[in-house]
Each structure stands twice: as structure tokens, then as C-alpha cells.
Amino acid sequence: MKKLKRFVEENFERFSNLEEDEVYELDAHYVDDDIVNYLKDNAQFNHNGIAVYYEGGSDEVWVENTNID
């Protein structure tokens, strides 16, 4: 999805500096509806070592750096 790819790329510096087991949490109400709906229908989105997924229990979009050595 182009919007998610752009979201990751625009925030890549912030997301790529997340430590192991650190999650960046965003209230879903502040994230583009198309992104949230895509994540609700798909387990997660991965781009350049960054994983983005929807956490339904808290209605948040979570971002993790999966490119940690």
C-alpha cells in the first residue's frame, strides 16, 4: 500500500532508532483511515525492516524496528 510505504519512509529515522522490544504506539484516530483499515485486514505491513500493525485491543497502530542485530 502506497500510503503505508510513504508513512514508513517519512518516519524512517524515528522508527529505525527504536530499540529491541520497543514499540511506537499511535492512536488509530490520528492515523489515516485507509492505513488503519488496511492493517485491520492484514496481519502487518513490512517495509525496510519496519513492521507496522494494528492492535485492536487498544485501537492503536504499532510500529517496530525488525532490523535489529
Per-residue pLDDT tens listing for the chain (69 residues):
899 999 999 999 999 999 988 999 999 999 999 999 999 999 999 999 999 999 999 999 999 999 876
| Secondary structure of 34-66 in HEC code, one letter for each residue | HHHHHHHHCCCEEECCEEEEEECCCCEEEEEEC
Instruction: Decide: pTM greater than 0.75.
Output: yes
Q: Is the backbone of residue 65 left (phi > 0), alpha (psi -120 to 50) or beta? A: beta
